[in-house]
Amino acid sequence: MKGTQTPQTKSLRTLHKYLFGVFVFSIAVVGLEVLPLMVTRQTEIVTITEIGAARECRSRRSWKVLPKFRSEQPSFDLTYCGLIRSDYGSFELPESRVISLFGASREALFDSLTVGCRFEVTVAGPGLELRENGPASNRNRTLVRARPIEECLG
């Protein structure tokens, strides 16, 4: 009896469709978050000239639950969360998150940067490339790693 379906079979099929949809949605969200960071990466040795960013910041609502937030008004108002300026132009810190799965958290990167010190930085995502004497911009790549080059007392 291929044509008849019991209520249990129908509910099992519905559950499978729901789980498949959740799986596809999860893969899409991870892909949208990770793919730009993997494709457009740039590493440069820069000197930090100014930190004009809030230590903690979320520029958009997260899943319509967590509101926009920043710990202080940044000195650069080109973006809601502010910018980090260097001799190679500007870049931004990643958004504050409850759990940082991909790379260092915004707060850890903020705390590691010191004005006047040289860092090997890796930026990723869409935005302007870092180049020597680059301008501040509102289209910036996101900092994913910052490694100090030498001992710096700031």
pLDDT, residue 36, reads: 59
pLDDT, residue 38, reads: 59
pLDDT, residue 29, reads: 75
Residues of the chain with pLDDT under 50: 1
Q: Which residues does residue 79 pair with via DSSP β-bridges, in sequence order?
A: none
Spell out the domain ranges in the chain. 1-39, 41-148
Secondary structure (DSSP) of 77-103: -SSSSEEEEETTEEEBPPPP-SS--SS
CA 87/CA 10 separation, integer angstroms: 63
Helix (H) or strand (E) segment spanning residue 51: strand 41-53
Give residue-wise pLDDT tens across range 95-130: 887 777 667 888 999 999 999 999 999 998 888 888
User: What is the pTM assigned to this prediction?
Assistant: 0.67
pLDDT, residue 35, reads: 62
pLDDT, residue 136, reads: 79
Residues 6+ apart with CB under 8 A from 41: 122, 123, 124, 144
